[in-house]
Amino acid sequence: MLRPHSPRTGLRAVIAVACCAALGAGLLAGAGSAAAEQAAAEQDRAAATKAAAGSKVVGYFTEWGVYDRNYHVKNIETSGSANKLTHINYAFGNVQGGKCAMGDAYAATDKAYTAEQSVDGVADTWDQPLRGNFNQLRKLKKKHPDLKVLWSFGGWTWSSGFTEAAKNPEAFAKSCYDLVENSKWADVFDGIDIDWEYPNACGLTCDTSGRAAYKNLMAAVRSKFGSGNLVTAAIPADASAGGKIDAADYAGAAQYVNWYNPMTYDYFGAWDAKGPTAPHSPLTSYSGIPKPSYHSDATIKKLKGLGIPSQKLLLGIGFYGRGWTGVTQKAPGGTATGPAAGKYEQGIDDYKVLKAKCPANGTVGGTAYAHCGTNWWSYDTPATIAGKMDYKNQAGLGGTFFWELSGDTSNGELIKAIN
């Protein structure tokens, strides 16, 4: 601030006052400009930080997809998805006898690829040390040096082995490290993803290891894999009081993971054969939702409320739909007679199939649904994914993950919407 001047007479005094006034105005303007620039810079830094925090795009690649689905690593490249992914979760390794084990060794390491099928157009030879998905992933990473790959263990079908693993977490962690870092494919993987369904709760089988078991297992995995490897985990989305999130110490284990993948899909489905119909991956609640806490926003708020940092939470999206048949009501909440027919399994089908077979004709709770004939389906579309990305950004989440790559169209409609 300029100090007040004493009154002066004559031209010299007038000039002096004018000069001082001009100087003061300049200084004030300069100070204002500097403050504005600083504020703008801080906004830019905040925006950059938020963008960085929300930039992860993690897609699951299924080992068995190379069979009936005829979806191969090359399809990640030709669909344009490789350019949009930051990480791939290779699903699944098995958990047997309390230790990490191979899933399908033929698909993973032995299946030979022709030049036409191969990522880089070079055919496998009979005597090369590594073939299969692992070698194709190696080739994909060579084309995309920033792309990271994690080996995911467990899943719905292969999680029963975690109960024994929880009895000796250090032995489990060592077995996983020795397998993931095997010299034949050590360069393929950048870490491990634990998909235990579910600690101290029931999935395909029930676990009674206790609430602390999960934290102890994840601590052992992080200790063995060290800070130079990624350690992530898929976790349940059940935010109800006393539900699956409450069953294990996910907040305590958060210090050991780079991020969590809360499975914010499959809230509802045709396992409730007669309905009521409801979208399997609602972003928010809506009038008539069968279970009040069964939506993504409730899951994220519950996990954040436990003290898990927003940046360690990714928003989950399904590249598939779930459906019922025998439904006469277009809006959610109708009764059904059973699961709708799916290409590979009753009550479920890929987005790429449903967009043509039963196009979406309604939205609720931030996701889409479709009523065609007597079938009722729910699934995400590019438009609803865009809305979910707005939510992800506003919530400051670390990014997005999805199950799974083969459900998208051949030109990657859904992953484009994520980006």
Nearest to 56 by CA among 327, 415, 300: 415
Find where tokens 């790559």 sit. 405
Contact 401, 67 (CB under 8 A): no
To the query of whether residue 164 is one of the catalytic residues in this protein, the response is no
Neighbours of 82 (CB within 10 A): 23
Find where tokens 């403050």 sit. 35
Residues of the chain by 3-state class (helix, strand, coil), percent to 5? 35, 20, 45
**Identity (one letter) of the amino acid at 255?**
Q
* DSSP code per residue over 294-347: -SHHHHHHHHHHTT--GGGBEEEEESEEEEEES---SSTT---SEEPP-SSBTT
Q: Which of 63, 197, 404, 413 is catalytic?
A: 197
Read off the DSSP letter of residue 3: P
Instruction: Give the tokens for residue 108.
Output: 């993973």
Instruction: Give the tokens for residue 165.
Output: 């693993």
**Cis amide prior to 61 (ω within 30 degrees):** no
Find where tokens 């069979």 sit. 67
| Catalytic residue ranges | 197
